[in-house]
Structure 1
């Protein structure tokens, strides 16, 4: 009998304001990487709550997601796979950020052109894909998610 496939369930949040996107800078295995505020779903936690928690921990912002941008599957390698629920928030004014998570060096607002320049340092291809999906106006209401039975 083969072992059951169990991808990691993660959440991320695309935060957009004044033609810039909020990314977090961190070191992964000694290499500088950029990502949206993101992390793993915890036990008995709704996807929306997980997104809000990760956003707060990694940027200091206490904002609920506005909509679901997309659900992405990603295989980092043959032994490591993810299902990533990506949410989005569109803001009128850029709030000041202050990461609470010690693993995050800083949170920064970057234009799409600046993100293109660091494309090889993005944590995964999902970072750019979710930004492109945001620019294309993709979004789904949060009501498509049901955490009633947690």
Structure 2
């Protein structure tokens, strides 16, 4: 019997404030890398709720999701896993004092687009592509996502 291919459903958020983007320093495969607040969707969770939760767990910031930037598909060469990333955009609401961040998270960092474009430590090509698409004005209303109960 052939093993069934199963992509991993993930979410990410592009959060801009005063020309800087909320990013995450995290450890992946033993190296410190830069990513958007991002992670896997949990069973029973809506896509938007997952994006809000992941932003809080990885950065200590509450965010308001306002639109969908796009769906990005990437197969990581390190593990062969294909990720389907729903990338949202939104705004920061408030920083949560003493928030407990996920294991492997070094902490949040606000970066300019120039810093992102020149960084050699982006976790995947999706990181910069999502921000560049956001800067181009790519936005879809959240109503394009239909989740049946």
Structure-1-length-normalised TM-score:
0.89
2:62–2:95 Cα contact (<8 Å) kept: no
Change (3 A) 1:95 1:62: closer
- 2:101 & 2:62 partners in 1: Cα distance? 12
Structure 1 runs, 4 residues or longer, greater than 6 Å off: none
Cα displacement (A) at 1:95 = 5.0
| RMSD of equivalent CA atoms | 1.8
Q: Which residue of 1 aligns with 2:16?
A: 16
Of 9-18 and 57-66, deviating more is: 57-66
Superposed CA offset, 1:6-30 (max 9, x none): 1111000010111111110011111
Q: Which moved more, 1:49-58 or 1:98-107?
A: 98-107
Question: How many residue pairs end up in the alignment?
Answer: 146
The residue aligned with 2:115 is 114
Partner of 1:67 in structure 2? Answer: 67
User: For the Cα contact (< 8 Å) 2:72–2:126, is it kept in 1?
Assistant: yes
In 1, the alpha carbon distance for the partners of 2:63 and 2:22 equals 13
Following superposition of structure 1 onto structure 2, how do residues 68-83 of structure 1 map, counting pairs within 5 Å? 68-77=68-77, 79-83=80-84
**What's the offset of the Cα at 1:117?**
2.5
> Please, what TM-score do these two structures have when normalized by structure 2?
0.89
Displacement of 1:59 after TM fit?
1.4
Alignment of 1:80-99 (within 5 A): 80-90=81-91, 96=95
1:53 deviates by 0.5
| Structure 1, unaligned runs of 5 or more | none
2:102: which partner in 1?
101
1:99 is displaced (CA, Å) by 5.8
Q: Which residue of 1 aligns with 2:148?
A: 148
Q: Which has the larger strand fraction?
A: 2
Instruction: Provide structure 2 residue ranges, at least 5 long, that are not aligned to the other structure.
Output: none
Query: Are the equivalent residues in 2 in contact too, given 1:99–1:107 (CA < 8 A)?
Result: no
